Amino acid sequence: MKSKQTLLPYLYSIVTIGCTFFIGQVILWCSPHGTNMWTSILFIFMNLIPMLLAFVFMRLSGEISGIWQFIKAAFPIRENWYAFAAAVLVPAVYYGVSLFLGNVTFTGSPFSAVIAYFPWTLLQGGLEEVGWRWYLQEHIAIKRSFVLKMLVISLIWFVWHFPIYRLPWVTTGSSNYLVFYLMILGNTFTFGAVKELSRGSLPCIAAHMLIDTAAVAMLVGSDLMMIAVLAGVEILLSILVVTLFKKKL
């Protein structure tokens, strides 16, 4: 039974990636050059797959009895204030370090466009954190090493993004896979640190939404050295925060 519980998070990762690749291929078949209403719906569904399958796997493992229990566990009413503070710091570090390095391009989009885009980021990225951080990070059988756990999750999350970034209308941070992985790696550590401070998934969702929303106004460049420095800062700060938090427990 214990070995089965240990394997479930990895099976979850494989199934999630497989389903995302399948939906991505369906979108390419239906609309290879652009979007329409149905491909937009399927694209949103792609981003919801990690959350939906988290429910399925927790139901199969007997951890929850139904959808209401899942909602209460994933989105608790009471949350640690410092988890939300950390969630705000995540985009501050991401864009702040990039600005300091001169690796940001301003798009010229008005503030109203940034605000208008914010709600959409819930469906196009935010809710995936229920799967990656709230479910996978809590269930994957690497308990003693935060660093090793983040490295494993970063590889899974990296591969999961492939079918999304194959879509012609999706703008990637970089066409260089190493640069793209370093971006994923840095975000894995910062989002993971936020989860270590959190009861549920809301702070991680907030951090993800804030980064995606700010991208309407600011685009981080794909210079390899600058991205490596950014990822290094994110990793070091995340390890520091998690270490200090565990010492207080």
C-alpha to C-alpha distance for 107 and 117, rounded to whole angstroms: 14
pLDDT tens, residue by residue, 147-157: 999 999 999 99
Looking at the chain, the whole-number percentage of residues with pLDDT higher than 90 is: 79
pLDDT at position 171 is 64
Give mean pLDDT, residues 82-101: 97
> Does the pLDDT of residue 174 top 60, yes or no?
no
> Does the pLDDT of residue 209 top 90, yes or no?
yes
Opening angle at CA 179, ends 190 and 133, nearest 5? 30
The domain locations on the chain are 2-248
Range among 38-42, 169-173, 202-206 rated most confident: 202-206
| C-alpha torsion sign, points 182, 190, 126, 111 | negative
pTM of the model: 0.94
pLDDT tens, residue by residue, 108-164: 999 999 999 999 999 989 999 999 999 999 999 887 799 999 999 999 999 999 998
Tokens found for residue 101: 């390095």
Give mean pLDDT, residues 16-29: 94
pLDDT tens, residue by residue, 221-242: 999 999 999 999 999 999 999 9
Tokens found for residue 64: 């929850």
Phi and psi torsions of 173, nearest 5°: -65, -30
First to last CA, the chain: 30
Host H or E run for residue 69:
helix 67-74
> Does the pLDDT of residue 247 top 80, yes or no?
no
194 and 207 Cβ atoms separated by less than 8 Å: yes
Phi and psi torsions of 106, nearest 5°: -85, 130
**Residue 107: how many other CB atoms lie within 10 Å:** 12
The rounded mean pLDDT for the chain is 92
